[in-house]
Amino acid sequence: CPIQRLLSEVAVSVSVKDKAVSRYWVSVSPLCPNGSIAKDQSCSGVQPDQTVYFNITIGMRSCPDNGEDEDVTVMVRPVGYNESTIVRIHSKCRCSCGPMRHCNDDSQSPCKETQDSPSQEQRPDHRLIEDSDRDSNLNCRADGSDVDCSGRGVCECGRCVCDQTRLGTIYGNYCEIDDFSCPYQGGLLCGGRGVCVSGECVCEDDWTGDSCGCPVSTATCQSANGLLCSGRGRCVCGKCVCEDPRHSGDFCERCPACQSTCQSYWKCVDCHLSHGLSQKEAGHCNNTCASLVGYMDDVSGRAEEMWIQCMYISNDSCRYRFQTSSQSGQTQLHISTRPECTNSSRLVGTFLSVCALTVLCGLVVVAVSRLLLQKRHLSPDGAAEDGGYHCTGKDLSYIPTTNEKTVTYRRDRPPDRPLEMNIQVPKMPLGDPWQY
């Protein structure tokens, strides 16, 4: 929605009256709620009840043609709001002190007032005064800058007097240092590890980064094996950044998906097994293996972070363990010379035993269930129960037939309106206990 987007973006516009706009320059540095300084002079994603600070710096490029001081009106307005703030600026184009050659005491500052007022004949030349003012302004500019006092102060007789603002303190020989316009980290300006100079953090010797949050030392990236990020990544801002996205962990030591790489070494392991794991015959596998291969009795004792544990099953159903690792770009492979083999006849016997035991258990369950059902249908004297009815000696398949009889009820009514009601009653034979 355009309205919501307008409300979430906060920006200001600064305008100087037309006749003086060419002699002034304006710089706007918004300090967003998250502590960052926006580059496009506006903050986005601002939520309600959040405050945005704008550091507005106005500097003067040149004085008026007549060399006199002047008052300039500057209007500051937030974009999208019907509000404005008028700031009146008083420019000072002359230094109040006179040239050095008219001071009685040369050891004093050139801005000290002379004790003797110059006479008509000794009145200083205004051109010399202007040259002195120009020279004193150069003392208020940093190297390579053409703006007095970094645009955040006024030059008073060769010395910067920094502006005052509610955002913080501006200080320095050229008003280039402050305590509010640099990035924050942990609630502290420049993370408490540097100073803010011209909107950028100048960090201490052991720290670097935009907010001085990155240590220069790589000690925090040293893994237990002494390698930087286990040899699988780079140390960036005191943390390991793994080169392979499959690696993870503080030192790139974990790689759950790397087990699939074991399959790429199976041909190499099979070649060495076919030659009896002999150092003399290892040269025949140079075309198959592009890594350094070594033989060990037991590789399980070298379960370090930098080694990947793998297994290969040979044609005779023996399992060979091997390890792979990459150090300094060189792949190493260690193959165990002690296979783990299992007798096939033993497997068959185990399988048959399990099957026989399963069948036996099934038969026992069936027998017990049948015995319980038989007990339930026998009376205490051993005779079978028929649910409370005695046998009559007739065929149980005999089904008695039913007869229907119609009963008609009449009531004496006038002949023109007789009343009859017919009911059909089925007739069923009685059972033997009821027949005498």
CA distance 105 to 96: 18
User: Do residues 246 and 259 touch, judged by C-beta distance below 8 A?
Assistant: no
Q: Are residues 237 and 294 in the same domain?
A: no
Look at residue 419 and tell me if it is in a domain: no
CA distance 229 to 316: 40
| CATH number of domain containing 66 | 2.60.40.1510
Q: What is the pLDDT of residue 359?
A: 92
Q: Which residues, in sequence order, are CB contacts of 208 under 8 Å at separation 6+?
A: 214, 215, 216
Gyration radius (Cα) of the chain, Å: 51
User: Do residues 33 and 54 touch, judged by C-beta distance below 8 A?
Assistant: no
CA 327 to chain centre: 30
For residue 419, what are its two tokens?
A: 């009343």
Domain that holds residue 88: 1-93
Q: Are residues 248 and 287 in the same domain?
A: no
Q: Are residues 300 and 271 in the same domain?
A: yes
Q: What is the pLDDT along the chain (436 residues), one digit of tens a residue?
A: 333 444 567 777 777 766 777 778 888 878 787 777 777 778 888 888 788 888 888 877 788 777 777 778 888 888 877 788 888 887 777 665 554 544 444 444 445 444 444 444 444 444 444 444 555 677 888 887 888 888 888 998 888 999 888 777 888 888 888 878 788 888 788 888 888 887 788 899 889 888 898 999 988 898 877 788 887 888 988 899 988 887 888 888 777 666 556 777 888 888 888 888 887 777 788 777 767 888 888 777 655 556 778 888 888 778 888 888 766 556 788 888 888 877 666 667 788 889 999 999 999 999 998 888 888 766 555 555 554 444 455 554 455 555 566 656 565 666 666 556 666 656 666 555 555 4
Look at residue 331 and tell me if it is in a domain: yes
| CATH number of domain containing 272 | 4.10.1240.30
Q: Are residues 227 and 306 in the same domain?
A: no
Of 254, 273, 308, the residue at which a domain comes to its end is 254
Of 320, 341, 362, the residue at which a domain comes to its end is 341
CA distance 26 to 374: 106
Q: Which residues, in sequence order, are CB contacts of 221 under 8 Å at separation 6+?
A: 228, 229, 235, 238, 239, 240, 251
Exposure on the CB side of residue 89, measured as CA atoms within 13 A: 27
Q: Are residues 235 and 272 in the same domain?
A: no
Count the domains in the chain.
3
- Exposure of 61 by Cβ count < 10 A (0-12 exposed, 13-18 middle, 19+ buried)? exposed
Look at residue 247 and tell me if it is in a domain: yes
Q: Are residues 244 and 265 in the same domain?
A: no
Q: What is the pLDDT of residue 285?
A: 84
Of 312, 341, 370, the residue at which a domain comes to its end is 341
Look at residue 396 and tell me if it is in a domain: no
| Amino acid at position 431, single letter | G
Q: What is the pLDDT of residue 413?
A: 60
Q: Are residues 296 and 225 in the same domain?
A: no
Closest-CA residue to 231 (of 248, 220, 215, 243): 243
Give the CA distances from residue 326 to residues 35, 80, 230, in Å, rounded to whole numbers and listed in that order.
42, 60, 9
Give the pTM: 0.34
Look at residue 315 and tell me if it is in a domain: yes
Look at residue 18 and tell me if it is in a domain: yes
CA distance 27 to 86: 16
Look at residue 15 and tell me if it is in a domain: yes
Q: Are residues 87 and 10 in the same domain?
A: yes
Q: Are residues 295 and 315 in the same domain?
A: yes
| CATH number of domain containing 227 | 2.10.25.10
User: Where does 225-290 have alpha helices with state H?
Assistant: 266-274
Q: Are residues 244 and 307 in the same domain?
A: no
Look at residue 323 and tell me if it is in a domain: yes
Q: Are residues 248 and 265 in the same domain?
A: no
Q: Are residues 245 and 303 in the same domain?
A: no
Beta bridge partners of 59: 25
